[in-house]
Amino acid sequence: MTVWKKQTLYDVLQEQASRQPQAEALVISGRRLNYLELKLEVDRYAQSLTTLGVRHGDHIAVLMGNSLEWVIFFYAAASLGAITVPVNTRFKTEELKYCLEQSDVKLLFMVDEFLKIDFVEMLHQICPDLTTQRALPHLKTVVVLGENVPPGAINLKSFTSALGSLPTSPPKVNPDDVLLIQFTSGSTAYPKGVMLTHDNMLRNAAYVSVRFDFKPTDRYYSARPFYHVAGTTLSLLSALTVGGCLVSSSHYDALESLKVMSTEKCTLTSGNDTMFLMALNHPDFSQYPLCLRGGWVSCSAEVSRKLIKNMGMKGLTQAYGLSEASPNVSMSWHNDDEQIRIDGWGHILDDLEVKIIDPETGANRPTGESGEIVVRGWSLMKGYYKMPEQTHKAIDAQGWLHTGDLGVMDEHNRLRFQQRLKDVFRVGGENVAPAEVEELLHQHEAILQAQVVGVPDPRLGEVAAAYVVLREGYQIETSTLIDWCKTRIANFRVPRYIKIITSFEHIGMTGSVKIQKNKVRAQALIDFKINQ
């Protein structure tokens, strides 16, 4: 059983910097910091944040690709008891506005441009005048990393030069304080801000690190974006709690990942089907010898076998979780029987309760029978920020988080995830709520009604498919609708397929005029000639 005492993120950082100051902590895009250097940079950023008026409980957002600055800023905010709001770098303008608005962000730390996306221009569309910021009344400060710094914002040099003295009595930060607000897609039209504490995330990281055998001498490559809990809890904080080295890249690129893992002699990695298939199928795969021995994955049995055979990941473990659980719920042990791991069976994390219930009645399902996975215990979120009704829907009166996922448990109390019960589907590792895409489609003047479902895709796992009913007198090409969507929402949310129909009655409308998603999806497989 893993032993973990409650502590804050900064407590753990101080301990590692004291215990092994010269050990490499981070290597991101070729830039390096040891644990002592990391702590000193965190302290410097914390002074600057304090000078700019950031206090315990304030919300500060980060909008940039994986970088040393991202990590330093996150850790510095944590040391003050401020709450980080990671922003998805694939968001479009309206999504960015909603995120900053909904989470009451006081300070935004952003890069001017990333992957040819002009974030400064996006911010200008939301707040034409940063000196007044009427569109976002809570936003007081914008710090920009890069050369394009708009009026009303400050550059990184000015930020790090704002070195006032830290308070004589440092802010009292508690392990049960909120550390991060993670926006996650759900069954509603708007993403929800999941509030996770220091203890939620650090304990989760420590427990899973033991499962995938992460040792201080390991070099763990993860290009999981830091705006996801897979990038924070299961990458950054896994390395921090262990005292190992995290190696990362600004974003995931198959060739880049192979080069970095080979050059840095990485021993562990993590990823999903999409990421690994891109690497395994890369024409230059054989040119980069790897030193991998394991890591954690969320992969099909077929891909898991390939990872063991072709990438040397003999100790790979299978993970299941969701943002609301910090995120990991179960993970196999690295030394479990190989076939058990390949088949996706994982052990429940220490001190968590999991059961399988009938999603309709709530009755417990017997061992070996499929049902909804529900979870209770220390890893559960504090709730959705400013969404009490949604919180009560997710966590019942007895404290059980209803995951909306189907799973099964065996006689050894192992859990295997099967599929999503909710309508949310996953595109290359990104959650997509149909309601989010439907809401956008309904904004088009030609569309009367829209329904979106996820359909299988060999590379991305799933992609969006949409059926739309046009308003009377309108005509439009489906390709035009797809192009229209591309300018308004993140690419992973854009429908791959669209079909114009006259009514949903022939697909599956109930007597209460509700459209049955399962029948829409079944029809999509036929109409778009998709093989499961």
Note the pLDDT tens digit of each residue in 270-302: 998 889 988 998 999 999 999 999 999 998 888
Whole-structure pTM value: 0.86
Q: What pLDDT band is residue 187 in, cutting at 50, 70 and 90?
A: very low
Position 318: which residue type? Q
CB atoms within 10 A of CB 187: 14
Task: Give the position of tokens 């995931």.
Answer: 252
18-53: pLDDT as tens digits: 999 999 999 999 999 999 999 999 999 999 999 999
Residue 179 CA to residue 194 CA, distance in Å, equals 11
Average pLDDT over residues 214-229: 97
| Four-point Cα dihedral 290, 282, 321, 422, nearest 10 | -170
pLDDT at 337: 98
pLDDT at 55: 96
Residue 189 DSSP code: S
pLDDT at 166: 58
Phi and psi at 274, nearest 5°, equal: -60, -50
**Helix (H), strand (E) at residue 113:** strand 113-114
Quick check: 488 pLDDT over 70?
Answer: yes
Q: What pLDDT band is residue 121 in, cutting at 50, 70 and 90?
A: very high
Residue count of the chain, please give it.
532
Across 249-342, the runs of DSSP E, i.e. the strands, are 268-272, 294-298, 315-321, 328-331
Q: What percent of the chain has pLDDT over 90?
A: 82
| The CATH classification of domain 192-420, taken from the options 3.30.230.70, 3.40.50.12780, 3.20.20.70, 3.40.640.10 | 3.40.50.12780
Both tokens of residue 518?
Answer: 């399962």
Tell me the domain boundaries of the chain. 9-173, 192-420, 425-527
Average pLDDT over residues 76-99: 95
Quick check: 512 pLDDT over 50?
Answer: no
Q: What pLDDT band is residue 131 in, cutting at 50, 70 and 90?
A: confident
More confident residue, 301 or 83: 83
pLDDT at 165: 59
Average pLDDT over residues 429-445: 88
| The CATH classification of domain 425-527, taken from the options 1.10.3720.10, 3.40.50.920, 3.30.1360.20, 3.30.300.30 | 3.30.300.30
pLDDT at 508: 61
More confident residue, 462 or 1: 462
Q: Say which residues have a Cβ less than 8 Å from residue 500's Cβ, sequence separation at least 6.
A: 467, 468, 469, 470, 476, 478
Quick check: 487 pLDDT over 60?
Answer: yes
Average pLDDT over residues 12-17: 98
Provide the CATH topology of domain 9-173. Answer: Rossmann fold (3.40.50)
Q: Which of 36-45, 185-194, 391-400 is predicted with the least confidence, judged by mean pLDDT?
A: 185-194
Residue 72, SS3? helix
Position 150: which residue type? P
Quick check: 499 pLDDT over 70?
Answer: yes
Quick check: 188 pLDDT over 60?
Answer: no
Same fold, 9-173 and 192-420: yes
Average pLDDT over residues 421-438: 85
Q: What percent of the chain has pLDDT over 70?
A: 96
Both tokens of residue 278?
Answer: 């891109």
241-251: pLDDT as tens digits: 999 999 999 99
| Four-point Cα dihedral 407, 411, 412, 416, nearest 10 | -10
Q: Say which residues have a Cβ less than 8 Å from residue 22's Cβ, sequence separation at least 6.
A: 34, 35, 36
* Cα-to-chain-centroid distance, residue 34: 26
Mean pLDDT for the chain?
93
347-380: pLDDT as tens digits: 999 999 999 999 889 999 999 999 999 999 999 9
pLDDT at 510: 42
CB atoms within 10 A of CB 295: 26
- 292, burial (CB in 10 Å: exposed 0-12, middle 13-18, buried 19+): buried
Average pLDDT over residues 419-446: 86
Quick check: 238 pLDDT over 50?
Answer: yes
